[in-house]
Amino acid sequence: MEDYLSNLNEPQREAVTTIDGPLMIIAGAGSGKTRVLTYRIAHLINQGIDPFNIIALTFTNKAAREMRERIESVVGSEAKNLWMGTFHSIFAKILRFEADKLGYPTHFTIYDSEDSKSVIKGILREMNIDDKIYKPSMILSRISNAKNNLVTASAYSQNEEVTTYDIKSGKPEMSRIYKSYEDKCFKSGAMDFDDLLLKTYILFSKFPSALNKYQHKFKYILVDEYQDTNHCQFMIIKKLAAVYQNICVVGDDSQSIYSFRGATIKNILTFENEYPELKVIKLEQNYRSTKVIVNASDSIIRKNKEQINKTIWTENKDGDKIKVIKSINDNEEGRFVAQAIFEQKMEMKLQNSDFAILYRTNAQSRSFEEALRKLNIPYRVYGGMSFYQRKEIKDIIAYLRIIVNPNDEEALKRIINYPARSIGQTTIDKIIFLSGINSISLWNVLENASVFSELKSSTSKINDFVLMMKSFMVLKSKNNAYELAHHVAKHTGLLKVLNEDKTIEGINRFENLTALLNGIKEFTEDDTSEQEKSIDNYLQDIALLTDADKIDTDKNKVSLMTIHSSKGLEFPIVFVGGIEENLFPSQLSLGNRKELEEERRLFYVALTRAKEKVFLSYATSRFRFGSLLYCEPSRFLKEIDSNFIETDKSFNFVEETSDSYNRRSGEKSNFSDFKKSMFAKPETKPLPQPIANFEAEDCSMIKENNVIEHIRFGRGLVILVEGNGDSKKATIKFDEYGEKQLVLKFAKIRFI
């Protein structure tokens, strides 16, 4: 046996060496899934299978890169010939080869969600439709869901059940909007993310010769994270595998958490129905986590009814019990977690990057961020604005997109007058109008500006713009991506405009633009062919970046992210916040068992990110939507086997290094005082009744040390005032109800 096989346990070795026929590998959390998939591909090549005949589909570019590098270390440069990448990148590659069959240009643009929303906003304006009723994000989500289920605009309009639902829900124009969106994308030579899947399915359905070509090319198909596939992906894979049926899917039904993106757990649960001769191999040994974490997470996931039976186990050490932190509010929760990180760092000599704070919703990050800042603990929040969504980056990318595809209307509208070149909004509106009535692209209008009398006053400026863009198009064939991008940034005036803005924001924007150019330089210096260093390939690469590709765990900062964003990652110590009913599980998921079970799988994912320690925290009250709500612990806490959690022993937190909390409370912080059972009722007394005949006063001038009376909570001392305007808040210590934080805009207070 080759050396790489000796590094595998028995089930892993069987998964790697089973070559022919349908195979499903159920890979539990931390079971060495990536190693198995990597070695399986290497083994196929070592058995004489041409890498050109192997396709491996992943869910992130990062995963594909890492796997290719590992395969190359085993089989050498032959690994470069594999078709390996995300579903979207592989299908985009196929569609570029076959674009003419579908009526698209070879260098079609790939729209991101912001581009798509911009198209939808334009459609709503043209149709004079209220965007408060037809919210662009809602429309885009509806269209995305339709495409993931293979429903085109034409099929949508002909489906009586769907159109009837739209009418009843007050959205009778949905069908017309979807059709217009589809038409505008086609006219612009653009596909959105969902089109990359839908158009591939249409290509294989309408053009048997194309399907036959790729069926015989891809004799061995491997799919990673199969539990996250949607219906469209399932149907494409099924078509591709129909001839040879050498299909291997790898996944874990217990980690299926993306139904909101169209993923369906049914694909992995019913895979055996599609392939009766299927061989199933289960990887059940966990190499990542302690016995406590493995057994605790297993005790949770066993509560689900929809699952493939498996028993996850580990030979790792027992480890510490899972600690539960109970706080009176979300601010104290943040302080508890920050203090715990501070203590663990000091005691165990750990790095900031060894810690992750996970939560159900992005809004929860605030209290953790504030607490970490007070202790001077550096952190990074994932899930904010992407680098590629910043205005200055979108601007230069728009120029580059037009060079590749001049019919890209969203890009053209973005930069036709930026930097300013005296082509005002009135002229742009005329160009859009002329494009519509003549059924030609905006670029066609610009190229023939002198023909249209409506553009007479702006013809000279338009001609200058067209001439500049055509000069860039000529350079495209002679220069690599960096040379072209740098030339464009300089000769459009983008670098000059940003460099002249000496505000902090302006300096940041200039630095972002130079960072982008540096990134393009790095792209062109990669060990690839000159053709692969083209601007076309660069634009496709950044258009297909996923959230996971942007996560960099090498920086020495505490990681803050939603649990969804954490999938596929691991950290020595993990904190999970907000383990409360109606927050986690989400209130939106309590309507049926299917949604509740996905929330439980999400909790399972959170626990299994940890290698050594897990802390779970919840608050007994929390501000949400401007109101103070009382909370109760999540049912998930009660579902953990009590042998694996610590609920009755104090946890010794260090005192807060910043004395701000002590100063304002007049007391020493005691962050170890949570000996009471975590399942005790958060408040033994009901919410107090309002004081009769209470007349509230203007509290905009409230100050620390003021004594006040609240309509419900009675007498209290103001210990902290922070914020401005409508977001101004006061932390008040009430005689009877303890410390509470109130938004002053809504607070019913009078001074004593």
Indicate the pairing of strand 190-192 with strand 322-327. Answer: unpaired
Alpha-carbon span 174 to 171, nearest angstrom: 6
Which residue is associated with the tokens 């109800």?
737
Residue 378 in contact with residue 352, Cβ under 8 Å? Answer: yes
Q: Which residues are identified as catalytic? A: 33-34, 224-225, 255, 609
Which residue is associated with the tokens 């022993």?
649
638 class by beta-carbon count within 10 Å (0-12 exposed, 13-18 middle, 19+ buried)? exposed
Buried residues in 561-591 as b, exposed as e (16+ CB within 10 A) = bbbbbbbbbbbbbbbbbbbbbbbbbbeebee
Diameter of the chain by CA atoms?
88
Alpha-carbon span 305 to 677, nearest angstrom: 29
Q: Return the closest-CA partner of residue 263 out of 236, 225, 300, 297.
A: 225
Buried residues in 519-543 as b, exposed as e (16+ CB within 10 A) = bbeebbeeeeeeebbbbbbbbbebb
Q: In the Cβ-directed half-sphere of 76, how many Cα atoms lie within 13 Å?
A: 3
Residue 253 in contact with residue 268, Cβ under 8 Å? Answer: yes
Which residue is associated with the tokens 């904190």?
575
- The number of beta carbons lying within 10 Å of the beta carbon of residue 326 is 23
CA dihedral 266, 272, 278, 284 (to 10 degrees): 60
Alpha-carbon span 385 to 119, nearest angstrom: 20
Alpha-carbon span 690 to 537, nearest angstrom: 65
Tokens found for residue 153: 């605009």
- In 286-329, where does DSSP find H-type helix? 291-301
Sheet holding 714-722, edge to edge: 738-743, 729-734, 714-722, 707-710, 749-751
Alpha-carbon span 232 to 220, nearest angstrom: 20
Alpha-carbon span 342 to 352, nearest angstrom: 9
Q: Which positions ≥6 away from 242 have C-beta within 8 Å?
A: 215
